[in-house]
Amino acid sequence: MPLLELTPEMDHSVKTSDHYNSWPTDKGYDPEYEQREPVELPVTGQIPAYAAGVLYRTGPGKSQIQAENGDILRLSHWFDGFSQTHRFQIRAPDESNSSTRIFYNSRFSTDDLIEQSRKAGNLDRISFGQKRDPCKSVLGKVQSEFEPQPSPSSVNIGVTLSINFPGLDTKPGDESTSRWTNSEGIRTLYAKTDYNAFKKLDPETLEPIGLASQKDLHPELSGQLSAAHARSDPVTGDMFNFNLTLGPTCTYRVFRVSASTGETTILATFDAIPAYLHSLLITEDHVVLCIWNAHVNPLAFDRSFMDAILPTDPSQPAIWYVIDRKHGNGLIATYESPAFFCFHTINAWLEPSKEDPTKMDIVADLVKADSSDVLQSVYYDNLISSRDTAKAFQQKRDDSFRTSITRFRLPGVPSAPETDIKNVSIEWSVCKSLSPELPTMDPRRVVLKHRYVYAVTFRGEATLTDGIMKLDCDTQQVRLWACHGQSPGEPIFVANPEGTSEDDGVLLSVVLDGNKGKSYLLCLDARDLTEIGRANVDGAVGFGFHGQHVPTLGGMPTGDY
């Protein structure tokens, strides 16, 4: 596999209008392959024993179905694909086997929804970008999704995954808790999305077995929206998120769920501009909620969530809210920065203030885009390579759709509430020519200063991903793994427990070989991005969003909670 070492000064951009040459990607957007019973995968190379455990992946599966009336129901937006969950069980060598073995199973998790849509000839459900009957409010559907109670497989939830979600069916002595415990310590598995609902999956068979909502954590968490990426304290396991109520007044509630007691505490409640916020940040002492420029109109949910997202207004600043998470002081500070859009935050931590050594600054890394226009790029018409619309869209893409890894600094965070609004500074912004997304890092560095970030690239060689990159945040050197025809998914970092450096470990990524139409689990050395092993799947694994690795040898899962 080609490896490139890049520097900030090098122009490694791809001029899409001149060089666009996508490989086949259709099978990654409408996979038919489902493997309900675990099968052993052929492995080439070596997968280190410390990677043993379970790797889960989730995301869209099928994107079209044949309706009962003979029509083909095609979904519009990648975020609306009928979800599918995947499980790679990685077994370390033992007395009977000298090599690491990998077993794979998967399951479509919306069978009832697909059947309902097949009979109706439409998708009459909450959706991100699917156009629907304007007489039926999406906002109303969010509020009434569980009235009457649907079956778990009739609800499309599959953006992120949580292992042993605190506060949900984890009471001591509860039979349901012990029932799902296995050698990796996995008691429960929940799928999440950006609205107030969870889907419970069997951790081994991946069968949908239950539904829940944030109201089950606390009665005041009844708002419609939340972040698919919650954040968890790496020491206590406490989980942090927000709940947003849409209405004439839009209210955010930032909350904590205790991993030890299951109790939910609302840390702060405040009214603010409603927005589509896919993720948030924590430091050792704070929750940081940035309302970036994906503002939504609560009255415009008549056709899809996309219709409610307002165009980015560069004159409107992004607002950063800092909430105390340890001492009960609630919202303590508000900051402003120039307008931007973001899907994925990376990490935040505290440093002595550059302006006043007696105070602390918050430093935050995230993947920044200039506007929310990037949401347009992931309609299926712009992604599926065999469609003329995809080629036309890719040829006209410009830098406005590209992202960069950006470091922000919030100066002089107070210990008690202050009303003055301060300014956020940008320390650096890099890798725009690589257009990184789906960032990951060593989970042991959460709330601590990190050095390395891994991500997939959207350089313009394909309609979706076309490489895996590693950024050294200290030197801003970049390494790139890329091979024509290969479309990788989010790289999951698994640390070597005996390692001496932050990047001593491996990356696990599910890759679609566009030439063969089949996928494989790729294992890269996280230090130099060289391939050390792979396990071949006998089918196409759909292009997914996110995953979790749960190590057999103990330690925290790798991924968002």
Residues comprising the binding site for Fe cation? 229, 278, 344, 546
Structure tokens at 400: 């406005």
Cβ count within 10 A of residue 263: 12
Task: Assess contact for 240 and 325: CB atoms under 8 A.
Answer: yes
Of the candidates 337, 321, 319, the residue with the CA atom closest to the CA atom of residue 329: 321
Residues 203, 206, 103, 544, CA torsion sign: negative
Identity (one letter) of the amino acid at 279? S
Per the listing, tokens 């992202």 go with: 403
CB neighbour class for 406 (10 Å; exposed up to 12, middle 13-18, buried from 19): buried
| CA 474/CA 460 separation, integer angstroms | 27
Task: Assess contact for 532 and 525: CB atoms under 8 A.
Answer: yes
The alpha carbon torsion through 440, 157, 180, 235 (nearest 10 deg) reads 30
| CA 306/CA 5 separation, integer angstroms | 38
Query: Residue 64 is inside which H or E element, if any?
Result: strand 64-66
Residues 320, 326, 332, 333, CA torsion sign: negative
Strand, coil or helix: what is 490?
Answer: coil
Within a 13 Å sphere around the CA of 450, how many CA atoms are in the beta-carbon half? 24
| CA 483/CA 335 separation, integer angstroms | 42
424 DSSP 8-state letter: P
Residues 6+ apart with CB under 8 A from 165: 188, 190, 198, 239, 561
Structure tokens at 68: 């009962």
Residues 6+ apart with CB under 8 A from 203: 54, 180, 182, 186, 187, 188, 189
Q: What is the largest CA-CA distance in the chain?
A: 70
Binding site members? 229, 278, 344, 546
Residues 29, 31, 35, 40, CA torsion sign: negative
Of the candidates 4, 107, 1, the residue with the CA atom closest to the CA atom of residue 534: 1
Strand, coil or helix: what is 179?
Answer: helix
| CA 258/CA 69 separation, integer angstroms | 50
Identity (one letter) of the amino acid at 494? V
Show the DSSP H helices in 309-433 as ranges: 380-383, 388-396
Task: Assess contact for 282 and 233: CB atoms under 8 A.
Answer: yes
